[in-house]
A and B are shown apart, each in its own frame.
Chain A
Amino acid sequence: MGEKVKKINLRNYGVIIGFLLLCAGVSIASPAFLTMRNILNLLRQSAVVGIISAGMTMIIISGNFDISVGYICGCAGAITAIVINKGYPFFVMVPVVILFGALVGLVAGVAIAKFAIPSMIATLGMGQVVKGMLLLITGGYPISVKDPVLTWIGKGSFLGIPVPIYLFVLSIIFVNFILLKTVLGRYIYSVGGNDETSRLSGIRVDSIKIITFIISSILAAISGIVLTARVGTATATSGEGYELDAIAAVVIGGTCVSGGEGNAWKTIIGVLFMSVISNSFNLLEVHVYFQYVLKGLIILIAVGFDSYNRKRANAA
């Protein structure tokens, strides 16, 4: 038993050591890596997936997956642009986007909790619905948008640090506050750890699942605001694939896919890990096609390590 604890600890360090080695390697290979400009740029770019990953951490701890968040991000980005372009101020747009996220999360959550659809399938369907909505409201064309607050959110800095990074960090703090400090958070761990025990302990498991999906979807919607703000344009393909980056970030961070364990601090490392990989590919001019292959392999290795350890622990 003691051995197992050691192994898990080693694994946590493993991620950090791996991350540091990666950074060291990249900085030797490309002097441009360790410049302030590149690092701030890298962090700014990681913020959108970072905010999604914060929500994904909760989802995975509750024992589920959500593969609709990329589309939610994209669609929320388009809603951002459309509402602002209609002349409404920033502070009207934000509640609209949050409401959108909440509704999507509610539908997915009800499908999963009340109709017992596996979360992977329910959010697969939900993702398609949202993607369709995105195409419908944009007509497939990019929508550019200009708003002083939005521009500050996407491109501004505070105390020399880009605003999106604050939002990323805030979302991580928010998620960890819920997970570690509130009754709801404890119930999320419990449901992910063993939903039957939770139910027999008087927890309304269905409600917990639904609330988790609502929170995660709201965070994904907020990331859409940041995305549109940063790029200045909402497109019909914005956000696609972010759900996979987010799942990879959470799992590489060390939150276990079977649920009941992990936290959002770990997810930060996972997000940075993924960003540094992408960033280094660009700096080292790795061909885009090849980037996919490498990134996929890295995810397989990281998750494979996690699952293999668990399998061995269970067999023992």
Chain B
Amino acid sequence: MSKMLEMKGIKKDFSGVSVLNGIDFEVEEGEIRALLGANGAGKSTLMKILCGVYHATEGEIHVGGEKAEIKNPLQASEKGIAIVHQELSMIPTLTILDNFFLGKETHKNGILDKKQMRKEYFEVCDKLDFHIDPDTKTRDVSVARQQMVEIMKCIHANARIIVFDEPTTSLTDDEKKTLFQVILKLKEQKKTIIYISHILEEIFLLADTVSIMRNGDMVGTFPKEELSIPLISEHMSGKKYVEGRRLTSHCRDEEKPVLEVEHLSAKNGTKDVSFYIKPGEVVGLAGLVGAGRSEIVRCIFGADRKSSGTIKVNGKEVKISHPREAIEAGIGLIPEDRKREGVILKQEIYKNATLVQLKKMKKNGVLNPGTEKEYASGAVEKLSIKIPSLSAPVLKLSGGNQQKVVLSKWLDDSMKVLIFDEPTKGIDVGAKEDIFKTVEEFAEKGVGILFISSDLNEVIRASDRILVIRGGEILKDMKNENVTQKDIMETILK
């Protein structure tokens, strides 16, 4: 066997922050290689570099023994690299055939050559032994079959290396079996497969070898026979990060809970979730991306509709069907997607800061800019936000400072529960520390905190208690006493 892919010394920085620290990654022809890593380990970044979406800061790529310049997705495809995305990228209103040839239509002087296209389509169908009607509208076809079409596109493009990015997330068990057969068939045809998944069963079933990444480093590549679940979670979480809890606890354990959630379910995937938060307690939600953590908190905050369950604040049931009602009950949310949900980019900093509290900024029925700016400059000082001026638009700020502007909306004594959904995503280390400081200050005042982070280390650092989430459910409620990343990872992977 010869090496089909060699990535050597791949480094990648995002605005000075290193996310890949010199990765070596080699795959043989006809091999099925699983790529594993916790959130933020760098596996998506590595694959995006391979597919030409990102450009490596340093390092080189060899495909089939030749050095390959991959600067954009088109060049990647010319080198025979294809990816089957987790979320399918087909246009639902077009037919399967239209999507199959999208951007690569066969034509004569601008007139589509449908006959030729159908011929090519059925050739690929035969190769893989698929039978999908090319004339059905894509939206009428199951996700599994759409995925098959994606795979057919890879074959049609003469791909030599096919990357599968969590391909089974929305498949039924039967569909998964079919997919695995297809992948094994691709292996027979000497295709090289890189398979990303969190589900270890699949990996043990399918992969020849497993590469594990952690925090931008390649931990190593192992034959699957040498691996076990505890070993994998140890490699994924690492030992050097067992630093434990570092924030002081302000949990008032003897008091009644400030928030009680009972049997919360919703269409967004939340399944019978029950838990409580004591005043001053920080409860962390741990889980992988897509585990349903944000969905749970969106139900509590009234951003998504719940289908059943009750929410109590200070022992009293509150009806929440709109964020307004959550805020009136004293619940605040720092949302996950800062730019889309947290700030109004082109609006002034001080107007963003006062948006939640605006009704308190009136004088004789009219907005009082003096009060507004006073509130905002108080927040700027308290959270040490770096700004050019209070009237500058938020889009001029760095990610960390934008996040602090989002935080500044909730600096009000009436808040009883604050939900932090990925507050540290995409911000620099200094701003992260400021945010942890703020979490602690809120807790000290007796505010109950719900803290979500994809970085397990951060959850462990901040929380009094950790709820492990998977598939919209709470798997385990553990007191944060010497909990390690490995403990959490084992619960998730079990």
Chain B residues near A199 (CB, 8 Å)?
A: 303, 322-323
Stretch at the interface among B119-127, B130-138, B334-342, B456-464: B334-342
**Which of A185, A193, A201, A260 is the one whose CB lies under 8 Å from B323?**
A201
> For the complex, is B366 an interface residue (Cβ under 8 Å from A)?
yes
A186 to chain B, nearest CB (A): 6
The answer to whether B347 and A189 touch across the interface, beta carbons within 8 angstroms, is yes
Chain A residues near B322 (CB, 8 Å)?
A: 199, 202, 204
Most A C-beta atoms less than 10 A away, residue of B333, B340, B347: B347
A5 to chain B, nearest CB (A): 9
The answer to whether A198 and B355 touch across the interface, beta carbons within 8 angstroms, is yes
> For the complex, is A200 an interface residue (Cβ under 8 Å from B)?
yes
Chain B residues near A189 (CB, 8 Å)?
A: 344, 347, 351
Q: Mark B381-411, 1 if CB is under 8 A from A, else 0.
A: 0000000000000001000000000000100
The answer to whether A190 and B344 touch across the interface, beta carbons within 8 angstroms, is yes
The answer to whether B344 and A194 touch across the interface, beta carbons within 8 angstroms, is yes
Q: Return the chain A residue nearest B406 by Cβ.
A: A197
Q: Return the chain B residue nearest A185 by Cβ.
A: B367
Bound Cα distance from A187 to B352, whole angstroms: 11
**Which of B301, B345, B366 is the one whose CB lies under 8 Å from A200?**
B301
Bound Cα distance from A211 to B409, whole angstroms: 25
Bound Cα distance from A295 to B431, whole angstroms: 52
The answer to whether A1 and B396 touch across the interface, beta carbons within 8 angstroms, is yes
Q: Return the chain A residue nearest B325 by Cβ.
A: A202
Interface residues on A, range: 20 to 34
**Which of B335, B340, B344, B359 is the one whose CB lies under 8 Å from A183?**
B359
> For the complex, is B319 an interface residue (Cβ under 8 Å from A)?
no
Tell me the chain A residues, 159-204 only, with Cβ under 8 Å from chain B. Answer: 181-183, 185-187, 189-190, 193-194, 196-204
Chain B residues near A243 (CB, 8 Å)?
A: none
Chain A residues near B359 (CB, 8 Å)?
A: 183
> For the complex, is A261 an interface residue (Cβ under 8 Å from B)?
yes
Chain B residues near A260 (CB, 8 Å)?
A: 344, 346-347
Bound Cα distance from A196 to B335, whole angstroms: 11
Chain B residues near A203 (CB, 8 Å)?
A: 324, 355
Bound Cα distance from A181 to B361, whole angstroms: 11
Q: Return the chain A residue nearest B368 by Cβ.
A: A181
> For the complex, is B356 an interface residue (Cβ under 8 Å from A)?
yes
Bound Cα distance from A198 to B347, whole angstroms: 12
**Which of B327, B335, B367 is the one whose CB lies under 8 Å from A181?**
B367
Top 8 nearest A-B pairs by Cβ distance?
A: A193-B344, A202-B327, A202-B324, A194-B344, A201-B355, A181-B366, A201-B356, A202-B323
Residues of chain B touching chain A, judged by Cβ–Cβ distance below 8 Å, are: 301, 303, 322-324, 326-328, 333, 335, 340-347, 351, 355-356, 358-359, 361-362, 365-367, 396, 409
Residues of chain A touching chain B, judged by Cβ–Cβ distance below 8 Å, are: 1, 181-183, 185-187, 189-190, 193-194, 196-204, 260-261
Cβ contacts A to B, 27 pairs, < 8 Å: A182-B366, A182-B367, A183-B358, A183-B359, A183-B361, A183-B362, A183-B367, A186-B367, A189-B344, A189-B351, A190-B347, A190-B351, A193-B344, A193-B347, A194-B343, A194-B344, A196-B340, A196-B341, A197-B342, A197-B343, A197-B344, A199-B322, A199-B323, A200-B335, A200-B341, A201-B409, A202-B328
